[in-house]
Structure formats: structure tokens, C-alpha cells
A = this chain, B = another copy of it.
């Protein structure tokens, strides 16, 4: 029993005796100041830079977003080539339902009344011919416009070209109007509704702020300085904010990014979380290293003519595609990143004595004295252990 108690006490002592390092106080202002100053620097770095500037105490999440767009406006075209025509949103927004991007038609080449038939190719070095032998039947020239029938035909009074099976008449897309047909598109407006979610924080937000009322929204127009909350954008303004000229861009088309930045600090002391709009042209407008500059695509409207045959109007549509690009990272206080960042900084604090010791034992005048007091060299022969170290303390 006595033995058990002794053993238990031994264990208790082994477990709960507190082992602390013996220290030496050196009354040297130089080393002391160096040490304290370094400590201060590390603490300042942690508090100031890591916490304040980088907000490294925060967990982050990426925004997921849903966008709807609605374009408004109409235009009237009346050029020498075409009939007078009125254009509304169902005509110039293609496809009619945009989600993250919408396309506004600004210029076009229309080839009406195409039917499946045969017609001579558009003249170019590879299509001109002298007689039928130059036109191999069934040949499919990747740069041509159809399948050769094997005949050589008059394209005009001066040129003969191979006949092809295709949608005829062929499109002549070099006749693009030099001034955008729908130049009036610059005054169209678009309403962008955007909802974002940060799933990790269960945070939802709309770009139409709750305090805004309907009547304001009906009349407002986005302006970085005077109306930064309004979700209605005039296309001309969007393009000019991106540093481009609308009329220039409208001729050949292009891609314009409407970026909505939802980067937010969701800690309660951080206040508001608002979208920041910015605008940037996304395609390359430089004619160098640029195949198919601008932005265009072809689509067709299909009709049946009176005898039931299919005809189509082929439209090569030039215009501006507006890509609504929503991004953002939200941060919120999180215990793990806080611990990690503080811990990492603290490990520098615990590295500091090593540096200070090295500094002291290398550069101080009295380094030998300090070394004598600080460092004990174990003498393996003195098996009885260090004799009377404490006396020096007693004299203090």
C-alpha cells in the first residue's frame, strides 16, 4: 500500500511537475532593444498587415450567380440598299433569351430568297474555269461555297466559274455596310438583374438594392459617378467606359465584358456588400494576328414558298456580344485561418531568441562573458554533476 502510494505519487510528479527552462538575465540595452524591437515588428506585421490589409483571418468562398438581361429600344433603318424597316427587340437580340450574355445586332449582310439549287461560284483564283474539265464533279473546296456539279458557267459577262450545288444565290459578304446599319443601337438600354450566392456562408444578394423603389428604377441610368446603383445600362455608355467607340465597334462587331465584382467582406463590422461594375473589351481589335476580327455569325430564317419548297434568308449578323461576367470572393472570420496565420507568426516569435542569442554571442563586446554565464559545457569525466553552480546566484 505504501509502495503503491509512493508509485502513484511518483507518477503524479512525473506527469504534473512543471519543467521550465532556466534563464539568464543580461542587462544589455543593445540586445534587449534589438529583441523587443523585433518582437514589435512581428506583432505589427501580424496585426497590421496580415489582419488589417490581407484579412488573413477570413475563410473565403466564391460567388455563384444567376443573371437575367432585358434589352430595350428600337431603331429604324432606311438605306438605299434596303427597304425602310423598323427593328425591335425581337428582331435584333439573338437569341431572344440571353442569360449570361446577350447579342445586339448592329450590322448585317442579308442574302434573301436562297433555295437549294445550282449557281456559279463567286470568282476567285480557285473557282474560275475555262471549260467543264476544270470543275471536278463532287469536289468540295473548303474555301468554296458548295459542292461542284462539274459544269463551268458564266458568272458574269467577263468571268466563268464552276457551278456548285448550294443555297443559291450565294452570299457576297464583302458588301458589308461601312456605317453600322443599326447605329441607333447605341441608345438601347439593358436591365441586368443579378443574384449571387455564397453557399458556404448562406449569403444571398441581388444587384438591385432593397431600398431602391420602382419609380427610381424606371427612370435611372447607370453612371459610375452619379448613379452607381442603377442596374440599367445604356449600351453606348458601356462601350465608352471600356475605352471603345460604339460606332467603330458596331461595324465589325465585338465582345464586350460587363464584369460585376461581388468581392465582399461579410464580417458584421465591415458594412456593405455591393456590386462593382467594370467594362472591358474582350476580343482583340488589332487587325494583326487576328483571324475573323470582330464578332459575327450566320443564321437563317426558313420559309416555304408558294409551291412548298423551302427558301431561307441567310443573315450574316455582326454585332456586339455583351458577356456579363460575375465573380467575387467573400471573406468571413473563420477560426481555422485565424489560428493558422497567428500560429505561423508566433513561430517567428519563438525563432527570435535564437537570432538574438546568435547576435549577442557574435557581435557584443562582452560576448565571452555572456557565453560563460549562458553556456555550460558538460564534462563527461565529472560524473558527480555540476558542482555549486548556484553560489554565483547567491551573490546577486
Contact = CB atoms under 8 A, between A and B. Distances in A.
A227 interface: no
B50 A27 contact: no
A268 interface: no
A357 B19 CA distance: 10
A103 B88 CA distance: 22
A157 interface: no
Nearest to A326: B64
Contacts of A15: 32, 36
A213 B304 CA distance: 44
A261 B197 CA distance: 13
Contacts of A388: 387-392
6 contacts: A22-B374, A140-B184, A193-B283, A302-B303, A343-B346, A373-B376
A1 interface: no
A78 to B, nearest CB: 10
A223 interface: no
A363 interface: no
A292 B343 CA distance: 52
Contact of A19 (B24, B50, B100, B292): B24
A184 B147 CA distance: 12
Interface string A122-149: 0000000000000000001010011100
A288 B35 CA distance: 62
Contacts of A340: 56, 340-341, 344
B390 A385 contact: yes
A340 B342 CA distance: 9
A76 B336 contact: no
A2 interface: no
Contact of A288 (B85, B214, B341, B343): B214
Interface string A267-308: 000000000000010111000111110010111111111100
A124 to B, nearest CB: 14
Contacts of A289: 208-214, 217
Interface string A31-69: 111011000000001000110001010000010101010
The oligomer's copy count stands at 3
Interface centre among A90, A295, A388 (most CB of B within 10 A): A90
A236 interface: no
A128 to B, nearest CB: 20
A238 interface: no
Given A54-B336, A210-B289, A321-B68, A21 B353 contact: yes
A235 to B, nearest CB: 13
Contact of A389 (B33, B64, B86, B376): B376
B19 A297 contact: no
A222 interface: no
Given A74-B140, A339-B345, A356-B18, A298 B28 contact: no
Shortest beta-carbon contacts, A-B, top 5: A343-B344, A16-B32, A96-B299, A372-B385, A386-B390
Interface in A70-91: 70, 72-74, 76, 83-86, 88-91
A327 B199 contact: yes
Given A68-B295, A90-B298, A23 B387 contact: no
A225 interface: no
Contact of A351 (B33, B191, B213, B349): B349
